[in-house]
A and B are shown apart, each in its own frame.
Chain A
């Protein structure tokens, strides 16, 4: 996956970005560390301790922009939203990123075609909002699976990030 590909996708996404507004908990800004990740209502925390995931949101020209990376090297960050397997990034398509003016929630929707030889399309949404104290980011990542347009199930990950900066 080359850098140019996701830049092209991100450019399309920028068109839909609204101007950020304040929420009760404040705008989603800062650097956050993934500390909890649970499937559905599951009790199990699947967040990796070895290669912790970080997500960073900042303001660029009044709109929110994000980047995400695993491990401690922020120079390896990818522009958010991004999707990857363990070999690297996968192309994301049809990206839209919105910020809910009333809640401050940041929502990204995008598609991934993981295999060129398969009909599978992933429709993914990620949404994050600050908790009242502003010290944590909570949200949900849902992945739905479509084959030839038919919904063939999916899953949801519930995530909690804690503020580092």
Chain B
């Protein structure tokens, strides 16, 4: 116990034995952090983790489905039912966006969202589409749609819609690694062929296998990395704050970088990290 206490003391509090600078901020320790960060970058690049679905983002069809229905329930609207035909149409739409390289509701050769829906045999009375790209978290996508004044919120809260389908697909759009989210709404045409529906409660059961097999993350490496980054920066901030506090308290004068500047830099980076979790919607 005493050893642990001494180690923490050595790590965070400037004193004679660590040359009056918290050991965790010494250049040798900073070099170790740099090597770890570099190795992590290499491991993810060489290991081709970016191609493991779910690494680039932490977005899942399940989570989107749950969050959208929560919004509808808050507004006293019935939950949407997940429809496999709409999910398939969403998947086809996303694939088409990557193939034809466009970020729009309409393809360059004139395909509309309705073409993809009708292409799966789903005949609708009402239909709608929400798109999002490069978000890092499911709740970020739903929050952006709900805060939108461009019709996304209206789509989510439209009482006429009864069914929904999702696709989350990674690919290259305009030369950039992109995660596309396609959300298609529909109300089946009365008297028309009604595709097999999946009840909300049964979502995790076999009927959603298509969505799970195609879009669900195998490894949640993204979430792990994101949390590691936040924890590491919090650790650095703590080390800087403690070092500054004790150096001020003991009136220590030494040759070192300015803790206040490092602190500000890391705070801005953390704020930037959270901004980068937000993508764009149309």
Q: Do A and B come from one complex?
A: no
Residues of B participating in the A interface, judged by any CB pair closer than 8 Å: none
